Amino acid sequence: MDIQLLRTNARERLKPYCRVCRECDGKACAGEMPGLGGTGSGSSFMNNINALAQHKLNLRTLHSADSPDTQYAFLEKTLSAPLMAAPITAVGMQTGGKLSDKVWAESAVLGSEMAGTIAWTGDGPDPAHFQLGIEALTKHGVQGIPVIKPRENKDILEYIKRAEEAGALAVGIDVDAAGIINMKLKGQPVGPKNEQQLRDIVKSTSLPVFLKGIMTSDEADLAVKVGAAGIVVSNHGGRVLDHTPGAAEVLSEIASEVSGRIPVLVDGGIRSGADIVKMLALGADAVLIGRPLLVGAAGGGAEGVAFILNKLISEMKVSMILTGCSSLGGISSEILR
């Protein structure tokens, strides 16, 4: 497989819903929902890209870090690198059926496994969306992290049971989806979660519970207090609220607040291995990759997803060599100018 062919295939398959731009930066698709753009003006998606571009890496080559170790211990697994597939659903709806939710879920789960990492799976306005993720995990006998929309607590607890039965590694709640209107329209109401509701969710399961969509330090602190196993700093790829900052803009203040008490993951606008290294330097433990893997799946199925993940890992290794980092632990804010 080569990247040009993969991108050409993906462009053909996804048009006009995604143009597979040279830079996936949210400009051409601004406001396209259904589609793969950011909501409203598209500023939140673009802010993810711009926030990462603000940071520059110090080029350093007078050292002996020539074969960096990217392996990452996450929960009870060792991943090939600190990157995982982000939860994505309603892909069929967003691409006019050109990439189905089933093909996406299977490609994400299998492709992640092929690249030595795991997939997070999502939840959408049709309850079948969540189920497709669970089925992809059980069919291929791999562990992943099903992420549940902030539904009513009784429904969340029921969805968690299904994740437990599927042998999930952990579960997540994308708390930033509290205002998604098409969930309500389809009779699947979502809303914000208060401290007690969060505690009840965490208490209901022996699985680690991640909160995805944390963008402020006070909510990161609350996540730690209620017993979350980790957080994902994320503005949902710019798809839930216009005019939010980029994830890379708020990451370091959130990581300082959490101060190693739980893992801090991040996503939004990560397009290269250098971007991953920047996120780790800003305080993230690991990253999730979204749209680039949709392109991988559309252009080459599970192999396409694995291809994109492996490309990111090899770019990450080069970035570590050229910033003098022999291990993940060696990546610190010092490598940023």
Ligand X SMILES: Cc1cc2nc3c(=O)[nH]c(=O)nc-3n(C[C@H](O)[C@H](O)[C@H](O)COP(=O)(O)O)c2cc1C
Q: Which residues bind ligand X (CB under 6 A)?
A: 36, 48, 86-91, 94, 122-124, 147, 174, 212, 234, 236-237, 239, 267-270, 289-291
According to DSSP, the residues that pair with 265 across neighbouring strands are: 232, 286
What stretches of 115-239 show up as alpha helix (H) in DSSP? 127-139, 153-165, 181-185, 195-203, 217-225
Decide whether 68 or 82 has the Cβ nearer to ligand X. 82
**Residue 122 vs 324, nearer CB to ligand X:** 122
Q: How far is the CB of 148 from ligand X (least distance, A)?
A: 9
User: What is the closest distance, in whole angstroms, from the C-beta atom of residue 24 to ligand X in the complex?
Assistant: 7
Say how far apart CA 246 and CA 269 lie, in whole Å. Answer: 8
- 146, 132 Cβ separation under 8 angstroms: no
Which residue's CB is nearer to ligand X, number 51 or number 68?
A: 51
62, with CB counted inside 10 A (0-12, 13-18, 19+), is exposed
Question: Please, which residue, 236 or 324, has the CB nearer to ligand X?
Answer: 236
Q: Of 49 and 202, which has the nearer Cβ to ligand X? A: 49
Exposed / middle / buried, residue 293 (Cβ in 10 Å: 0-12, 13-18, 19+): buried
Least distance from C-beta 64 to ligand X, angstroms?
A: 33
DSSP state of 327: B
Residue type, 171: V
When the beta carbons of 68 and 275 are compared against ligand X, the nearer one is 275
Q: How far apart are CA 14 and CA 93, in angstroms?
A: 12
Find the shortest distance in angstroms from Cβ 107 to ligand X.
14
**Long-range contacts for 23-31 (Cβ within 8 Å, ≥24 apart)?**
23/49, 23/271, 24/271, 24/291, 24/292, 24/295, 25/49, 25/269, 26/238
Structure tokens at 40: 């409203």
**Nearest approach, Cβ of residue 267 and ligand X (Å):** 4
**Could you tell me which residues are beta bridge partners of residue 211?**
173, 231
- Work out how close the CB of 202 gets to ligand X at its nearest, in angstroms, rounded to a whole number: 18
> Which residue from 24, 71, 67 is spatially nearest to 49, judged by alpha carbons?
24
Dist CA 280 CA 266 (whole Å): 9
Q: Which is nearer to ligand X, 308 or 328 (CB)?
A: 308
Q: Which is nearer to ligand X, 9 or 89 (CB)?
A: 89
CB of 256 to ligand X, least distance (A): 22
CA angle 306, 148, 144 (to 5 degrees): 35
The Cα–Cα gap between 315 and 254 comes to: 26
